[in-house]
Structure 1
Amino acid sequence: MSSTNKEPATEIYPALNQTYCSLCNQISLRTSRLDPFGTLPMELTDESQQLADCWTTKLAYWSGQNNHMKIAAFRQAMLSPMTFYVTILTYCARFRAHASGLKETPQSIQYTSTAERSLLRYIQAASDPYDENIVMAFAALSLQEERYGSKERAAEHMNQAMVRLRPRAADYPFQNVFVHYVRYTMSPCGVVRDAVEASQLSSFLRIAQSAAQDYHFIYQAPLRRTAFQFSTPLHLLLSSGPHPSPVPKEERKWVVNCGAVHDLCRVASLIYITSSILDYRLSPHKCNLFLEELLLKISQHNLDRWASTESLLWMLLEDPSNVDLKDPRRAWVVGDIMGIVQRLPAQLKYQFSELLLRFLMLRPPDLEISLDKFEVALWQHVNSQLVVDCHDIEISSSEKERGLSSNRARLIVT
């Protein structure tokens, strides 16, 4: 059970009015509402109401509103006044500043400061350091810093969320989705210069290629043959585009990061689906079930009409309805691979994703893109980084030697 922060809400949430404060303890009783977008379970100030409305009606990706994701986050945030303030209100305060062309505004500064203090007080009062609300709040702050603040702080917040989630992932289904979604869509940091990481990518692609050539398995899993072919919903979702936006031009100032998040979600979805199929390679039946459920979700959420890789990735991370398809390790493994891919140069990243799509489509290699060509380019990149590192070490050593020589000379003169 999650612990409850006992401090007066007026001290923690100065932007909320007294009516909201009197309802803080009733939130858990009011969150059974199937559609939180109808009416909020609490009364807010005019300012806070505008921020909540921003989440429900304005916030969008290039692919559209993605209501399934927004509703899931909104409903979970309502379980605690702290998470609602941090996840919904503070995010929208910072988002509105960004949409206005500003890095921050007095409103976004106030909400960010209050959110951080609120989380700290909640942690201090909590009996469980792995509380689900703490995990969600750290992930929410990581997302905000990643998009509208400091990349370094985003990484710190994400680390806090992951450390708390890892031992409780099976108990926190929403947090498991939210944390990994944020993790997959974070900007790359550094470059791939490690031979071990390069080998990991090569091995993953080699296994995927081998699975695509296992015709006996493919014959036993009919959907594996057809699900990713040209013009199918999955092909339209996973192909590199272009993808038109359903968001009206006059509303596009509310679009988050335009194409950047879309492309990260597309690559992560390719890795996740490939990893899932590889996990089921000893069971054509499970592979077929996985694809059946995925196609059903795509249809239910109209992704066959409005292609959204953001919603696709979110649904992949959600627990499957069939218990036999669950694998709590998969999201972590996919995140590790995604962390390497994000640091590749753009051309190598494109080749990696195209190879995965071709393997899913069961297409043979061609003169344009092949695994052999990718591996040659990958190792050239890694080796070039090693040369740069060695050069930097030599320069550093030379500078250190010059510094020592200079110190000796000063000692002699003295």
Structure 2
Amino acid sequence: MDDSRPDPSEGSSAGRTADNQPAQRPSRSKKRSSRTNSENAARQSFLFVDSTSPREKRAHVMRHHIQTKRSQNAAAANPGQQTPPQTSRGSPSKGESDPSSASTQRQEQASAFSAAATDHSSGPPLSLHAAPSFSVLSAPIETVVKLLPMEIGPIEYELVDNWLHRLTYWSGQNSYVKERVFRRAMQHPVPFRSMVLSYSARWKAHRAGITNQHLIDHYATQTELAVNNPLDHGMDEDDLVMTLAGLHVQEERYGDQTKAVEYVEQALRIQRNRITLPDPVCQGILFFVYCMMMPRSYMISLEGMRSLVDFLRRGEVLVAEQNTQEYLVMVPQRASTFGYETELYQLLASGPRPSRVPMSDRSYVVNDVVPTTDWSRSAALIYIMTALWSLRHSPGRTSRFLNYLTAIVRQRGAYQDYSCESFVYMLMEEDCDYDLKDPHRLFLTAELLQIPKILPRDLLFRFNELVLGHLMMASRNDSVDNFERDLYAIR
């Protein structure tokens, strides 16, 4: 999935302690603290749920998750009182065959990772709204291996090292993406095998010119068995989505295109039908690979052409509504967010992007013919325009959305890497305020993108320029009328 360039990849105490009590009442304070600690321990040890109630199950899991996070945050705030977590890590088969222990093991692994992060940095552990303070990409490989969800041997050790420090998924360094994906994958053996071990094995074999390898077949068989019986392997919806996304990327690039389509369609069905909030990393990687997958058909239907023109017409309406003095008083950044010389313009404008990968690492590049940079630009433009259209009746939410766009570009390194691929992944995570999210927006973006992907290159360029012009509220030396005429002419 690259474009002739390298591809990449959060306390409080339960009660007041004696230190917080008035000095004249120490004995009562100690009793209170002891009783509170006992109650907390009891609540954590005995959490009964009605097994016939899915809603109560979800509430139970959420309560336990909140308690775990509070304990971790309290430990991080008082590192001198922190007790090292006792992480139980067995063989892959043992860890996967005991569903009743999967949740406990995953929480222990998360605690271990938070502890490791505290040891390596004075900042907080990775959260959804902050840059990581402890990077698995720059940490010693020995440290990372100790936090994996399975025991590994020398072969897997090399595969993990290759994934972290050599191979890339798409153009640019994309360290933010690789960090997020690896951290989420290492929470469960199955997605870790699919996204890291199996992919790395295929990448290595491809570079060596090997088409068949026993290790690849072994990983594929184990992963497919887990996908077919997710409950038996202690997998939740997010684990399954991420596993399928990893399988799709492998088959899309190195294997069977038909199987790749089947994997991504299965993951999309899970995402459509789920009733729980998705993990942003799993959501982001799924929709990214969906956007970057090869077109299933190279025939543009009349309905598809109409959808594309209607999209551009909505952009014209949006400009007419928002490019007014009254609106710009309420949302002044609407006129400047996408202007020339801004980070967003540099990412979204057409043109070549220089590679930031050092020459010494360019031998690890897998050169493909998939124009991921052009497709990523189209995906980002469609997503942003779709979001602005859905938020057009709320100047306040529009303002916050524009601020969010600028923040993720500046704080997460997409601009520094010149990587529109990374930017699209960040958009697909939808790591923003809840009232700015819209799961339908992701599906609309990915589905509409299938049409520009099969346009002739000149029409794809013109489509991107027209949408960018609508975002900039400026003329781009073209018109929707001219584009519509030339679009219908190719039928």
TM over 0.5: yes
2:269 is the alignment partner of 1:159: no
**More off after superposition, 92-101 vs 283-292:** 92-101
Cα shift at 1:185:
0.8
Establish whether residue 210 from structure 1 lines up as the match of residue 330 from structure 2: no
Which aligned runs of 4 or more in structure 1 are off by greater than 6 angstroms?
Answer: 22-25
Aligned twin of 1:134 = 240
SS at match of 2:414: coil
Check the 8 A contact 1:180/1:335 in 2, yes or no.
Answer: yes
Q: Secondary structure at the match of 1:265?
A: helix
Verify: 1:30 aligned to 2:109, yes or no: yes
CA distance in 1, matches of 2:94, 2:220: 12
Pick from 341, 345, 361 the counterpart of residue 472 of structure 2: 361
Name the SS for the 2:474 alignment partner.
coil
Shift of 1:208: 0.7
Structure 2 CA distance for aligned equivalents of residues 256 and 269 of structure 1: 24
What percentage of residue pairs aligned between the two structures are identical?
A: 31
The answer to whether the 8 A contact 2:186-2:192 is kept is: yes
* Aligned counterpart, 1:79: 187
Give yes or no for the alignment of 1:194 onto 2:301.
yes
Look up the match of 1:91: 199
Report if aligned partners of 1:36, 1:75 keep a CA contact under 8 Å in 2: no
Distance 1:253 1:109, change over 3 A: farther
Task: Specify whether residues 177 and 97 from structure 1 end up closer, same or farther in structure 2 by C-alpha distance, changes over 3 A only.
Answer: same
Q: 2:277 aligns with which of 148, 171, 174?
A: 171
Pair 1:113-2:192 in alignment: no
Matches of 2:476 and 2:105, distance apart in 1: 59
1:238 is aligned to 348
2:358 aligned with 1:248, yes or no?
yes
1:184 to 286, 291, 297: 291
- Report deviation, 1:323: 2.2
Counterparts of 1:220 and 1:55, CA distance in 2: 47
User: For residue 390 of structure 1, what is the aligned residue in structure 2?
Assistant: none
Question: After superposition, what is the alpha-carbon deviation per residue over 1:72-121, rounded to whole angstroms, capped at 9, x for unaligned?
Answer: 1112212211111111100111112223344454443433333323433x
Deviations 1:166-204 (CA, angstroms, capped at 9, x unpaired)? 122752223222211110110112124322111111000
Which residue number in structure 2 is paired with residue 146 of structure 1?
Answer: 252
Residue 173 of structure 2 contacts residue 356 of structure 2 at CA under 8 Å; is this kept in 1?
A: no
1:344 corresponds to 2:455? yes
- C-alpha distance in 2, partners of 1:23/1:161? 21
| 2:178 aligned residue (40, 65, 70) | 70
Unaligned stretches of 5+ residues in structure 2: 1-56, 62-89, 96-100, 114-124, 126-133
Counterpart for residue 57 of structure 1: 165
Match of 2:330 in 1: 220
Contact 1:208 1:359 in 2 (8 A): yes
Instruction: Identify if the C-alpha distance between structure 1 residues 352 and 182 changes in structure 2 by more than 3 Å, giving closer, same or farther.
Output: same
Write the distance in 1 (CA, Å) between the matches of 2:431 and 2:238.
21
Instruction: Identify if the C-alpha distance between structure 1 residues 30 and 290 changes in structure 2 by more than 3 Å, giving closer, same or farther.
Output: same
Aligned counterparts of 1:72 and 1:169: Cα–Cα separation in 2: 23
The one-letter code sitting in structure 1 at the alignment partner of 2:110 is T
- Paired AA for residue 247 in structure 1: V
Alignment check: 8 A CA contact 2:174 2:414 kept: no
1:227 and 1:255, CA in 2 relative to 1: closer, same or farther beyond 3 A? farther
- Alpha-carbon distance between aligned partners in 1 of 2:238 and 2:353, rounded to the nearest angstrom: 36
Q: Write the letter of the residue equivalent to 1:370.
A: S
Counterparts in 2 of 1:266-345, with a 5 A limit?
Answer: 266-345=377-456
- Which secondary structure state, in structure 2, belongs to the residue aligned with residue 230 of structure 1? coil
Aligned equivalents of 1:293, 1:340: Cα separation in 2: 28
Could you tell me which residue of structure 2 aligns to residue 19 of structure 1? none
* Residue 363 of structure 1: how far off its partner (Å): 1.9
Q: 1:204 to 1:23 in 2, by over 3 A?
A: closer
Alignment correspondent of 1:402: none
Cα distance in 1, alignment partners of residues 169 and 267 from structure 2:
24
- In the other structure, the counterpart of 1:229 is 339
Code of the residue aligned with 1:113 in structure 2: it is: T
The corresponding residue for 1:45 is 153
TM-score (norm 2): 0.68
Would the alpha carbon gap of residues 264 and 105 (structure 1) be closer, same or farther in structure 2, given more than 3 Å must change? farther
1:388 corresponds in structure 2 to: none
Offset at residue 273 of structure 1 (A)? 0.9
Contact kept in structure 1, 2:330 and 2:395, CA below 8 Å: yes
Task: Call closer, same or farther: CA 1:328–1:238 in 2, change over 3 Å.
Answer: same
For the 8 Å contact 1:86–1:140, the answer to whether it is kept is yes
Between the aligned partners of 2:425 and 2:287, the Cα distance in structure 1 is 9
Secondary structure of residue in 2 paired with 1:191: coil
Equivalences for residues 330-409 of structure 1 within 5 A: 330-366=441-477, 369-381=478-490, 384=491
Distance 1:192 1:218, change over 3 A: farther
TM-score (norm 1): 0.80
The separation in 1 between residues aligned to 2:212 and 2:460, in whole angstroms, is 32
Read off the aligned partner of 2:412 and give its amino acid letter: H
Q: 1:10, CA displacement in angstroms?
A: 5.9
Give the whole-Å Cα distance in 2 for the aligned partners of 1:333 and 1:243. Answer: 27
1:51 and 1:183, CA in 2 relative to 1: closer, same or farther beyond 3 A? same
